[in-house]
Amino acid sequence: MHETDDIGAIAIVSNSVGSITTDVGNGGMGNKVVKKRLALFASGRGSNGEALYKAMCDDYINGTFVVIITDHHDAGIVQRADGWGIPIVVIERSDYDSKADFESAQLEALAPYGVDGIVLAGYMRILGCQLIDSYEHRILNIHPALLPSFPGLHGHQQAIEAGVKVTGCTVHFVDTGMDTGPIIMQNTVPVLPDDTEDTLSERLLPVEHATYVEALRLFCADKLSVEGRIVRIEE
């Protein structure tokens, strides 16, 4: 069950924090490996967030979600993450007079958790400059199209209407533009002649999950570096 506390306009749905270390070697008696502390921002059902969480539980990703932030109290992620033992913070835009105040609330909510990075998974708000600058090249997003084609909303439908034969997903770092940040990783699926937005979305979703898991694994292993517009992967 959820426990909710209100602090100003910020609603804290849960107050538990998960583990941030893991044992390696010697049957769990080896050195402690510090995991990256990550914030998950989500507005919708949270399926990408769940895929990432499961990969963390399997120790495939050397990171842990220490807080979940959503802009809707009834977002699917709230119920999906019930039982994960991770604090869930609801910050609704309608509770603030300005975007600047809303952004300040986001930063205030992040402050106690000392996050190393932010993962956007269906978060339907454009982040403000102060937040982006505070976490430069440490905010990841996934988009359901092969950027720079078809940015913004309805990437699947844009691909169908454009008549492309292949589309896919893109994991990228977030900058101040609309889906314009440096590209980390992309994967593809075919666009079939009778595809609808729903059928294409369904085909692409498992590819999104796998791509985001791999991109976040690289980020948490410090295998990504940014040179201008180019993301270098060091394996």
- For the record, the structure tokens of 31 come out as 């050195």
Whole-number pLDDT of residue 110: 98
If you ran DSSP here, which 8-state letter would residue 22 be given? E
β-partners of residue 6 are: 11
- 234 touches 225 (CB < 8 A): yes
SS3 83: coil
148: Cα within 13 Å, side-chain hemisphere: 6
What's the CA gap between 224 and 48, in Å, rounded?
A: 21
For the record, the structure tokens of 223 come out as 């295998």
Mean pLDDT to the nearest integer, 215-222: 99
The residue ranges of every structural domain in the chain are 1-135, 142-235
What is the CA 208 to chain-centroid distance, rounded?
A: 12
Binding positions for (6R)-10-formyltetrahydrofolate: 99, 124-127, 141
CA distance 95 to 32: 42
pLDDT digits (tens, 9 = 90+) for 36-90: 999 999 999 999 999 999 999 999 999 999 999 999 999 999 999 999 999 999 9
Q: What is the largest CA-CA distance in the chain?
A: 56
**Fold agreement between 1-135 and 142-235:** yes
15-49 pLDDT tens trace: 544 445 555 455 544 566 789 999 999 999 999 99
Q: Which CATH superfamily is domain 1-135 in?
A: Formyl transferase, N-terminal domain (3.40.50.170)
pLDDT digits (tens, 9 = 90+) for 136-195: 999 999 999 999 999 999 999 999 999 999 999 999 999 999 999 999 999 999 999 999
* Residues annotated as catalytic (active site), given as ranges: 143
Helix axes 197-220, 47-57, angle to 10 degrees: 40
pLDDT score, position 192: 99
State how far the Cα of 195 lies from the Cα of 230, in Å rounded to an integer: 33
Which CATH superfamily is 142-235 part of? Formyl transferase, N-terminal domain (3.40.50.170)
Task: Give the span between the Cα atoms of 226 and 74, in whole angstroms.
Answer: 36
| Residues in the annotated binding site | 46-48, 99, 124-127, 141
CB 180 within 8 A of CB 141: no
pLDDT reported for residue 153: 96
Overall average pLDDT of the 196-213 stretch: 98
- Concatenate the DSSP letters of all residues of 168-206 into one string: EEEEEE--SSSS-SPEEEEEEEEPPTT--HHHHHHHHHH
What pTM value is reported for the model? 0.88
